[in-house]
Structure 1
Amino acid sequence: MTPNLVPYLLYEPEESGILWIKFNRPERMNALIGSSEENGTVAKVGEYLRAGDDDPNVRVMADLTGENFVGNRGTTEGPDAAREHFFHGFTKLHRDISQVRKPTIAMINGPAVGSGMDMALHCDIRLGCENTRFIGYQQLGQIIENGGSYYLPKMVGLGRALEFAYTGHLDAQRAYEWGMLNYLVSSEELEQATRDLCDRIIRTPPMVQWISKRIMRAALDSTLETTMTLTSNAGGILNGSEDAREARQAFLEKRAPEFKGR
């Protein structure tokens, strides 16, 4: 089902199974239009992701980010009004990215600023190039958001995360060395590298990816014992799935498998 489209955020599914979500305001460096209100950029990102998650023809979602994403913080005055807008707007809508069951990739070809950085950190995988920069809101008197405050210490370690929190800027090379970027390639190779990764992802049974993602994200806040229970339960279910049987049969027949997500 196609969502209600807006011109400043593109929704481009391909027959290959890749869904591209592209920010489309180059004349304004891809700055956000609004945020959590109806038809605001952040709200539309959530809507597009949910539509892609529900589309059986979509296997992986690539979020083409990497410009100056600066959004508003509130429409009324006062610290608590700003907090409410932040929590019910950016926080919950950004969380939609991490809760999508299908693989999500952030392809970052430029500065990922504030909310844009947060969106990228909520994705599963990030690819960057020489143009990539991660920039926080520190210079504007604001803390980094949930992707930065929650996921960043787990990705790079507390010391490095705090260094970023104190300085608010990170170039592509250091982001790659720290582990924020899975891949660092030239800008000319960035889209092809993203497509190649999507192609490799699509060769794996989708249910394996969906369940692996749920378990690994849950394990960030869990124990070894709980994780062992989750993987043991999931392993038995997956073993009897139609896709698992198809994977085994395709391997024996030396052909490409045809997965159905069940």
Structure 2
Amino acid sequence: MEFETVIYEVDNKVATITLNRPDNLNAFNSQMVLDLREATDATYKDSSIRCVILTGKGKGFSAGADLKENMTQPNDPNAVEKGLLEGYKPVFMNIINMPKPVISAVNGPAAGIGYSFAMACDLTLMSEEAYLLSAFSNIGVVPDGGANWMLTNTVGYKLAYQLAIEGEKIPASRCLELGLVNKVVPSDELLSEAKEWATKLSQRSPQALSQTKKIMRMALDSTFEEIFSVEAKIQNQLIGSADNKEAVMAFLEKRPPKFQD
């Protein structure tokens, strides 16, 4: 599968999607939004893919939206809203609803909507030199790409508001302290670490990973009582399933489990 602005690779049940506009720090133009949507559509539908990595080529993860392209768009008063809802939103929903873990491997600056994409993923690694930047207030606009929801749910209102309106770089070490990322690794080890992690996850029960993701995503907007009931219903479906039986047998036989796609 080939794209103009995205590199799509699959190896050992892991799909790696690489934003590929390195000369523009992987800033999003309309073509890259379209390519990323098609790439995430493919990973969403392919049950043989068990884990996904999203990263950037070159020195940055993504500088955000391509401001040069935005300045030359037709004079439509609703162009920005349409672009976010019809262009970007389906990509974010693919990442959030995809029944498999998505790992962002942040190899450099992740700013603007690039910052939003990094946070939207289920798990995140950052290189030691990378940083997140909610740059929106620096150009007189608000965070988008769901950043307000993700940031407040992760660090709470007061800190989220501070980070958003101050518009300062958040270095990798600080991101780790705040719980915005899972791991910080040396730059030259980032992709290998991400692939190793993804490969380990791909060897685990697909239904356990997908259903846990589903429940935890729901938990962000639900009550304890609601989630307790959802857990009970899903657990009832999974106990005695092929994955469950294989995992139990593998444990008893002291061997690695072999889960079906």
Does the alignment reach a TM-score above 0.5? yes
Aligned to 1:102, the other structure's residue is in SS state: coil
Query: Following the alignment from structure 2 to structure 1, what is the Cα–Cα distance between the partners of residues 151 and 121?
Result: 12
**CA distance in structure 2 between the aligned counterparts of 1:132 and 1:112, rounded to whole angstroms:** 8
46, 49, 69: which is aligned to 1:55? Answer: 46
Partners of 1:127 and 1:184 within 8 A in 2: yes
Query: 1:137-182 CA distances to partner (integer Å, 9 max, x unpaired)?
Result: 2212221113320111111121221111111231211111111111
Q: After superposition, where does 1:1-262 map in structure 2 within 5 Å?
A: 2=1, 5-14=2-11, 16-34=12-30, 40-65=31-56, 66-71=61-66, 72-73=69-70, 75-77=73-75, 79-136=77-134, 137-169=136-168, 170-261=170-261
- Tell me which moved more, 89-98 or 198-207: 89-98
In structure 1, what is the Cα distance between the partners aligned to 2:151 and 2:43? 26
**What's the C-alpha RMSD, in Å, of the aligned pairs?**
1.7
Contact 1:32-1:41 at 8 Å conserved across structures:
yes
Q: Distance between the aligned counterparts of 2:42 and 2:103, measured in 1?
A: 16
Aligned-partner residue type, residue 143 of structure 1: V
C-alpha contact (below 8 Å) 1:73/1:86 kept by paired residues: no
User: Do 2:51 and 2:198's aligned partners in 1 also have CA atoms closer than 8 Å?
Assistant: yes
Range 252-261 or range 88-97, more displaced: 88-97
Stretches of structure 1 that go unaligned for 5 or more consecutive residues are: 35-39
Question: Residues 222 and 125 from structure 1, CA distance in 2 versus in 1: closer, same or farther, beyond 3 angstroms?
Answer: same
Q: CA deviation at 1:114?
A: 1.1
Give structure 2 stretches of 5+ with no counterpart.
none
User: How far 1:124 sits from its partner (Å)?
Assistant: 0.2
Instruction: Render the CA deviation track for 1:44-93: whole Å, top value 9, x for unaligned.
Output: 21221121122122110000131323235583325433223322222343
Letter in 1 for 2:10: P
The normalised TM-score by structure 1 is: 0.90
Q: Is the 8 A contact 2:4 2:35 kept in 1?
A: no
Mapped to 1, the partners of 2:238 and 2:173 lie a distance apart of: 39
1:185 maps to amino acid: V
**What's the counterpart of residue 37 of structure 1?**
none
Rounded Cα–Cα distance in structure 2 between residues aligned with 1:52 and 1:83: 27
Count of residues in Structure 1 that have an aligned counterpart in Structure 2: 252
Structure 1 runs (4+) greater than 6 angstroms displaced: none
The 1-side partners of 2:15 and 2:51 are apart by 6
Question: For the residues of structure 2 that align with 1:105 and 1:25, how far apart are their CA atoms?
Answer: 20
